[in-house]
Structure formats: structure tokens, C-alpha cells
Structure 1
């Protein structure tokens, strides 16, 4: 009986050890305490300890929080509501599911964000109300490939990028709505309405963040991004990301940068100066006509005398 009990205890210990075998999270290197659970590698996201599944992409909110924890020591016309992330990296508040909280704060300053974690309102005090997390439904990624002797074939480049996004970033191909190439600029359109996205689909905001980090040489994956066409390495630079939300952003003039305000002031002053100059020129012209008429009348009286 003792032998059976000892054997059973040993089997239980072995099973527990196997369930907690260390593993490697290939899709996110900003994690710790990795272990196998039911055959899947699970790790704790740095900075939040939220458990993440290493078989899919980690949410952008958790990735930004992890990065903050580690660091605390040829273009086309855009949609009118498209805007960039002008605030950069910050330490976000995440829901337990990993998504951004609609309201983000830094001390006594708060703002509302979209599902990509990008500020979409002016900054206010802590009384600010953010009633919902507005969905980013369209992401536009612009970048340029490094200098080449000859332009790329648009068809080959489109296929390569779509294959890379669907395989490396695990995005369903139906969300890649366009790839445009005008040497050397490349534009990628990702569209994903809340009604289209199923629970198992990765979010386009997470895909864009992973891709942006890859292009900037700060890959979240363990392996760096490697692409090639016709056995020639292909690298990109100058990546910019634009966001279009289901509800337009709520920025006022207060949110404009000093440079933009300066440009607006200069334009307004130029217009005012132009109007003043036009008025003065007309006044001078009027005085000249009156003087000319006076001289003509005097000459006419002299002839009649």
C-alpha cells in the first residue's frame, strides 16, 4: 500500500512538473515566467503580470506597458479624420483582457484613447469622462523601402506583404484591403470594423504595432523580420501610421502644436496684410483720379476764358 501511495505521489509530481515546463514565447520577448499549460506556452507580460498566450499576438496595451517597464530607468491624401500618434510611448492602463481603458491619465492630466491606444481628445483634468473605447476601424501604414537599383514589381511586393502579414502577424487576409506601391513608397491599408471582427481574430492595432516595431529594428518577436524578393533582401524605413476611428476625434485648437499654430498665424497675418495693401492701393488710385479730374476742369475753364 505504501508503495502504491509513493508511486501515485511521484506521478502527480511529474504531471505538475510537466505542466509547468519552461517554454519560449516566440511572438513576444517582453514576458517572464513562461510555462506550458495544456500544451500551450503562457507567460506573464512584464509590467502587468497579465498572462498572455504565446500562440497569438499580445495586445498593444500590454506591449506598451512592458516597454515602459523596461525603459523607466510618394504619399497619398489621407481621410480627413485620419490622425497620427503624436504623443508616442506612455504607461497605459489596461483592462484584464489586455485592451486599453478608454480613459488614460498621467498624474492629474487625462485623455480619451481609441482601441489603438492613441489619444483622440484634448488633455483635461481627472474629471474627464470617456464613455466608450472608440474603435479604430482603419489603419494606414506608410513606409519606404531602402534604395535599390531598380523599382520593385508591384505584384510581387503586394503578394510578399500580404503573405507576411497573414503568416507572421496572423491577420486574416480579408482585413488587408490594399497595398499601394509608388517607388519607393509603400502604403498598406488595414480595415476591421467591430461588426466584422470575431473573437479569435487578432486586432489590426496590434498588427500595426508589431509591424512598426519590426521596421524600426526593435522587433517584439524573438526573430527579426526578414523579407526578400528575387533573392535580394528587402528592408523598409520611415514608417508612419495613421488611424481612422468609427467616431471622429475630438481635438480643438488647443491641441495644435506650436509649429502648426505659428503657421496659421503667419497665414492669417499675410491675408490681413494683403487686404490692407489692397485697400490702400485703391485709396491712392482714387486720389489720383480726383486730382486728374481737377486739373482737366481747370484747363477747360482756361480755354473758355
Structure 2
């Protein structure tokens, strides 16, 4: 205790953290890796998922992610949520700044049910949970939308709006995702996912990130499935053009043949 405030050392980094507020996502990920070693709505154009999952991050003394992360000789740039926003390169990669994630979209799909949930009860539950359990200022919860069976939560926080005492939306999203998936960071305080006295179960949870600067992925980072779809579309378009051209040529020959026959008939009548 220091001046009445509880402080402790974060596992894996030894950085001192305030026990009475959320710990940064970067320090949490480092602690998880250390422990493991010892033991429907259209998305914004630049929204992207975390396809890498858990890794052993490099953190600043303040707890935020370093802009450049590496695994051996492979390096990449991350945003303030610690999510990779570039292709992977060698150690010469330059990450000039830690790009801020200003918008996080959490999309959940609940299990099949006969009737939809009460929309107002659902909105109140998630807003109260985010502001009370994760101590996020309510002004950063900009939307809770329910379109059976999908629930979408929008968290927006620009660097100019965030004060030094505010928790970061990236940390909130990480805690929340862990809670929803039954792997709570609050080990002795599991989240009771009940709405109108009914336990809510989820089949899928996906988190999308939107940065203040668009990510820098190349075609090489696309999945084989997506590349296959693109190739099929291109082939289909080319095939359609070929058919169109061939049809027009045949039509042209038919018209020419018809004119020729009419001229021959005309000459025969005049003979």
C-alpha cells in the first residue's frame, strides 16, 4: 500500500500496477504468456480482426505496447490494442509510431432461441456492465445494437477525448472478451451473463479494430480462401466478356449472311 493505494508487480514484466483499476492489455498478455510457459452489420472498410491471438509482447514502462513487436527475427507493427496492423517483416522493419485504435466493434452471436431478447434490458445490461465492471466512462460506449441473434457493441475513444484517468477501450474489450468466453481475468468474480433472469449463452464473439490510420496489409496477407474467391470472380468476369464478344461476332456474321442472301434474291427477281 502506498498512500492508501494498492500496488503490485505485474507477472512477467515486474512493472508496478494499480490494483484498484484495470491493468493494461499489454501487461496482461505478457503475464498470460509467462504463466503458460510455466505451466451483423457491415463493418467499416478498414476494420480488421486479430488473427494472431496471444503472443509475448514488448511493453513500455507505462504498460502500453511498443509499436514494434518481434518473435525471433520476424517483426510487425501493432496498434494501441496490440493487434498486428502490417505484414510481417524482418528485424529492419520501422514502426514510427504506435497508431491509436479509436473504434472497437464487439460482435456476439447468442445461442438459438425461440423469441428475441428484450432490447431495452439487453442494452441496459451491457452498458451497466461496461461502465461499472470495467470502469469505462459511459460516453465511450457509443452503441449497443441488437439484431437477433447478433449483439454489437461500439466503443469509441479518440486520443483527444481520453483523459489520463480514463481506462483504455482496448483494455476494456480484452477484459470483456475474456469474460464472455468464460476465461475471466477476474478469477473470483465471474461475469453473470443474465438478462431478465435468463442466462445468456454465446456461440461466437468477434472483435474488430479501427485505427486512426488505416492498416498496411498487402495481398500476401489475404487468406487462401479469400484469394480463391477473388480469382473465381476475375475468371467469371473474363469468361463473360469472352462470351459477349463471341456472341456479337456470331451475330455480326449472321447479319452479313442475311444481307448477302437478300441481295441475291433481289438480283434473281430483276433477271
TM-score of the pair, normalised by structure 2: 0.93
Alpha-carbon offset, residue 143 of structure 1: 0.4
- For 1:89, which of 33, 36, 54 is the aligned residue? 54
CA distance in 2, matches of 1:173, 1:286: 68
1:133 equivalent in alignment to 2:103: no
Deviation at 1:121, TM superposition (A): 1.5
Q: Distance in 1 between matches of 2:210 and 2:201?
A: 26
- Could you give the per-residue CA deviations for residues 196-229 of structure 1, whole angstroms, max 9, x where no partner exists? 1111111000000011111111111112110323
Aligned partner (choices 204, 223, 238) of residue 238 of structure 1: 204
Alignment map for 1:264-303 (pairs within 5 Å): 264-303=230-269
Partner of 2:160: 195
Matches within 5 A, 1:70-219: 70-72=35-37, 75-219=40-184
Aligned with residue 66 of structure 1, among 7, 31, 47: 31
User: How much has 1:50 moved relative to structure 2?
Assistant: 2.0
Deviation (angstroms), 1:79: 1.6
- Superposition CA RMSD, Å: 1.6
CA contact 2:68–2:94 (8 Å) conserved in 1: yes
- Render the CA deviation track for 1:224-244: whole Å, top value 9, x for unaligned: 110323322233341111111
Task: For residues 91-110 of structure 1, give each alpha carbon's deviation from its aligned partner in whole angstroms, at most 9, with x where no partner exists.
Answer: 11111111100011122221
Residue-by-residue CA offset, 1:173-193 (whole Å, 9 max, x unaligned): 111111111122111111111
**TM-score (norm. length: structure 1):** 0.83
Q: Judge conservation of contact 1:215–1:237 (CA < 8 Å) in 2.
A: no
Quote the Cα distance in structure 2 between the aligned partners of 1:289 and 1:230.
73
Unmatched runs of 5 consecutive residues or more in structure 2: none
Find the structure with the greater CA-based Rg.
1
Q: Distance in 2 between the 1:146 and 1:38 partners?
A: 47
Partner of 2:192: 226
Aligned length: 269
Structure 1: 5+ residue runs without aligned partners?
1-35
1:27 equivalent in structure 2 = none
Q: CA deviation at 1:166?
A: 1.1
